[in-house]
Chain A
């Protein structure tokens, strides 16, 4: 079996902190591997090692069949990297940013021009091509950064939190671009803090926590491990919170949590919704809002590790896609 990316027992220390504490994972050629985890889980360190920017203290890693330490120059010929912070030169134009990378990759001047314009067109940046990249919006900068990493048509692409901090529309645009790349057969390693993003884009997901891999599988496997959904009820009157918690606890056969003005409980079977509505009606509880949503990263971590993720993610009612996206955007950390 040949892997486009293979990491075996990677370790990396910064001072006394173990950024990576023996992680192993692999991605087959043409596969999208999602690396999911909160801030500080070691995702970026892993990407930096695979992209030859950082040397591991222990373990081995291969990209495109080349060792990232001993054959770094060969690895650099097959990879593209888009970091968490859009690495574009803000003073020069978008076009010049791409031309510089094209020329550094050894493309003849005219080829570099054609390739740059092709990518600008593909990412909807043609009109802004000659403007200083510093004038671009966050989404446009990410797209330019992604375009820069694609000039050399890499076999393996690293996307380190490509949508962190983007607004919902920009995020959707970037997702489409990533899907198109994958359709072309590029192997992609994508890190993200959002379960939804990993679910949308990845063929397989590894979950990082404190520099270790704590779960590994297809999105489907992972979700079945975590359990179904979360039911949330906001009673119109705060005095009903206790009663709602009792009702939800009974129906879901598990402890309901009360937070702010909301009662939530994990449910395995979405059918309980009917029973809940009926019981609340019988108890004469007025409901302001009721929602079934997918578990947040926080809840995934709670289930997998027994502790909460380092980042606190506000819960999002998944009744509408827009609300979920809003929550995703709200979770963005600087």
Chain B
């Protein structure tokens, strides 16, 4: 049965396409993925930037790598709601009554999310550069930064999937996710340098996975230390995936069986 993996891949791509059709037809998604991150860049750069770094240009250079992490992190909230809605509406029952690979709806949905993260990252980089952000490294480092972000998004999307498949009301999945993700994003060094915070908070900030990812972004886009933050990012990405993916797959099996 050598055709099975090929067929599974084709089904996954069909379902990825379906996920992206949502992006095409649902203006709310464009607001979440594109408009919201741009608003945050403008707000933080011009309102808080001067206060935090003395000059908004210096602040943009410091904060944009962090904002890329924040945009990716926020974008992961969608998957849980999307999966929960599909289960609730019976769309997954329909998929499961078809002769397709069992996990292709899940893999297709996750691939669709990855395309969204990429879109959000590219838009934010372009807007940042229009405002004066400058990448101080090369093309390879920039590509590596995008890959790390996508891996981080991949790991967090499993958490989102787990939440969406566990919470009964699909809509409240994103509210739960927001309650977890908002503090996570703001107790890292995404927007503010760690040194300005009280010592007890610095302990947590240095532990927070988003700090490792943001440091990796700064290293890869601006130059500076890469190895250590990259290693910690890899550890976090592996750990989060190892924790969330089996649980989410378990929930998926339960809900679909």
Contact = CB atoms under 8 A, between A and B. Distances in A.
A83 B93 contact: yes
B257 interface: yes
Contacts of B89: 85, 87-90
Interface stretch (B94-102, B122-130, B216-224, B235-243): B94-102
Contact of B25 (A51, A132, A148): A132
Contacts of A93: 25
Contacts of B91: 87-89
Interface in B154-205: none
A81 B93 CA distance: 9
A109 to B, nearest CB: 10
30 contacts: A53-B97, A55-B257, A76-B99, A79-B97, A81-B94, A85-B89, A86-B90, A87-B89, A87-B93, A87-B94, A88-B89, A88-B91, A89-B89, A89-B91, A91-B21, A91-B22, A91-B26, A92-B18, A92-B21, A92-B25, A93-B25, A96-B21, A100-B21, A103-B14, A103-B17, A104-B14, A104-B95, A104-B100, A106-B7, A148-B94
Contact of B97 (A81, A85, A92, A106): A81
B11 interface: yes
A104 B100 CA distance: 7
Contacts of A85: 89-90
Contacts of A106: 7, 10
Contacts of B99: 73, 76-77, 105
B5 to A, nearest CB: 14
In this complex, the member of B7, B91, B96, B99 whose beta carbon has the largest number of chain A beta carbons within 10 angstroms is B99
Nearest to B90: A87
A85 to B, nearest CB: 5
A101 interface: yes
Interface residues of B, number: 25
Interface of A: 48, 51-55, 73, 76-77, 79-81, 83, 85-93, 96, 100-101, 103-106, 132, 148-149, 152
Contacts of B256: 53
Contacts of A86: 90
Contacts of B21: 91-92, 96, 100
A87 B97 CA distance: 12
A76 B97 CA distance: 6
Given A91-B22, A104-B14, A52 B94 contact: no
Nearest to B23: A91
B230 interface: no
Contacts of B150: none
A334 to B, nearest CB: 14
B15 interface: yes
A100 B96 contact: no
A177 to B, nearest CB: 18
A45 to B, nearest CB: 13
A100 B257 contact: no
A81 B89 CA distance: 14
A333 to B, nearest CB: 17
A100 B22 contact: no
B14 A53 contact: no
A55 B253 CA distance: 12
A326 B125 CA distance: 60
Contacts of B95: 104
Contacts of B94: 81, 83, 87, 101, 148-149
Nearest to A81: B97
Contacts of B26: 91
A93 B100 CA distance: 22
